[in-house]
Structure 1
Amino acid sequence: MSTIVRTALTTALAALAATGPALAHHPMGGATPTTFLQGLLSGFGHPILGLDHLAALVVVGLLASRAGRGWFILPALWIGAMGVGVAAHLGSVDLPGAELLVAGSLVAIALIAVLNPALPVAVTGSAFLVGGFAHGHALAESVVGAEPMPIAAYLVGLVVVQAAITTAIAFAARRLFPAGAEAPAGFRAAAGAMGAVGLVFLVIAARSLA
């Protein structure tokens, strides 16, 4: 069994075990933030406590690490689209099948990282725009009904933590997986593991709609 398959299966099993607690555990205990500090802490914590959101950020960082000098464009596209998704949800714009889109977008960008991480930035960036929007729309649920101040703080927290994670992953991946014509097996295994997490959430989302 290849390294990619072993890593993906192991991560999928771990995701299955952790999904229940992770879905039930959000910043501020699931309560809507009412102060600037609560909004900020919720923004910092939500993308980390949500396993599907965290896995997506890891893949964003991995793909950014293979993009050369313009690597920062990809995280910026993701975060920008995420902000638009948040605004759309707060503006009462519905996103049919939102959870399916969140999980499906994670699987899609993970497949890009596994199969062809050298795709042009325009192609990968398009996938990031869709995925970032879907994830942002889902993340906005935590502040629906909140006052403008905690919402603004929440957005600041989201941007800061996602920029930090994607940048850290990109730099770490550059050191661990040197640039070359073909992505190393370790790189593809890491991306495959994140895709396995997305697949778990995709199955859960599909079952909830059945």
Structure 2
Amino acid sequence: MNRILTAAALTALATPALAHHPLDGMPMESVAHGLLSGAGHPVLGFDHLFFVALMGVAAALCGLLARAPLAYLAAMLGGTALTTLGVALPAQEAMIVLSLIVLGGWLASGRALATAPLLAVFAGFGLFHGAAFGAAVAGQEGGLAAPVFAGYLLGLFAVQYALTFAAGTAARRLAAAGPVNARLAGAMGAGVGLFLALEMVEGPLLAAIAG
């Protein structure tokens, strides 16, 4: 039953990704637009959504649910700013997929989650998640006004912190974040990462075979 409840909790977190983007393609022209867009982007991609959920589970296991995600969030905001300033990080999509495999696999293994390495994982991959968020708005015609961009960053921060805290709280309540539940959540996240990795290499592999 605990496994079913864990899966249901993670599925509930994923359901907002089925909705349309809050702006529905409209340009961001106000602080409110920035907030809505920032709040919408992390839940529109399963890669971002599952990673922040996994972070919540891992942070809850370490007893640092309120603080550990801040390492990711700080790096994520930095990555977003870098991209909008024209500094492109390499292999963004591949690193985001790898983040799911690494953190999900770590949780699934049942090994102890030491605080320092965990924070390094959060922050290191946070840069690449942030870079992807920055790329989503870097092409805005005429760029973003400073207040609009600030709203975008605030939306990104708030929704991801809330999702992380919700996932961690759910994990903690399910048998006090017992190892079986945490390992199941990790396996689900790593499975999503492997699926996305296969999607990334499928095209080139088929082209190589056909060619």
Shorter-chain TM-score category? 0.7 to 0.9
| Secondary structure in structure 1 of the residue aligned to 2:113 | coil
Spell out, residue by residue over 1:141-170, the C-alpha distance to the aligned partner (whole angstroms, 9 max, x if none).
232132222111010101111111111111
1:150 to 137, 148, 151: 148
**d(CA) in 1 for partners of 2:84, 2:186:** 31
Q: Deviations over 1:47-105 (max 9, x none)?
A: 1111111000110000011012x333321111111111101111111111111011111
Calculate the TM-score normalised by the size of structure 1. 0.80
Partners in 1 of 2:100 and 2:38 — Cα distance? 20
Say whether the 8 Å CA contact 1:32–1:142 is kept in structure 2: no
Cα distance in 2, alignment partners of residues 157 and 91 from structure 1: 19
Among 28, 44, 47, the residue aligned to 1:33: 28
| Higher radius of gyration, 1 or 2 | 2
Alpha carbons of structure 1 residues 31 and 107: separation in structure 2 relative to 1, 3 Å: farther
Q: Find out whether 1:100 has 2:98 as its counterpart.
A: no
Residue 86, structure 1, aligned to residue 77, structure 2: no
What's the C-alpha RMSD, in Å, of the aligned pairs? 2.6
Change over 3 Å in CA distance of 1:25–1:201 after alignment to 2: farther
Name the aligned partner's letter for residue 146 of structure 1.
Answer: L
Query: Is 1:43 aligned to residue 33 of structure 2?
Result: no
SS in 2 for 1:65: helix
TM-score using structure 2 length: 0.80
Contact 1:34 1:150 in 2 (8 A): yes
Unpaired runs of 5+ in structure 1?
Answer: none
- Tell me, yes or no, if structure 1 residue 128 matches structure 2 residue 126: no
Other-structure match for 1:178: 176
* Whole-angstrom CA distance in 2 between matches of 1:124 and 1:44: 25
Q: CA deviation at 1:189?
A: 1.2
Alignment map for 1:198-209 (pairs within 5 Å): 198-207=193-202
SS in 2 for 1:55: helix
Identity %: 35
Q: Distance in 2 between matches of 1:35 and 1:209?
A: 41
- The DSSP-based 3-state class of the residue aligned with 2:24 is helix
CA pair 195-31 structure 1, distance change in 2 beyond 3 A: farther
Deviation at 1:122, TM superposition (A): 0.4
* Farther-moved stretch of structure 1 (133-142 vs 28-37): 28-37
Q: 1:141 to 1:37 in 2, by over 3 A?
A: same
Aligned length: 191
- Following superposition, the deviation at residue 31 of structure 1 comes to 4.3
Which position in structure 2 is the counterpart of 1:118? 112
Matched residue, 1:164: 162
Structure 2 unpaired stretches of 5+:
206-211
- 1:30 is displaced (CA, Å) by 3.9
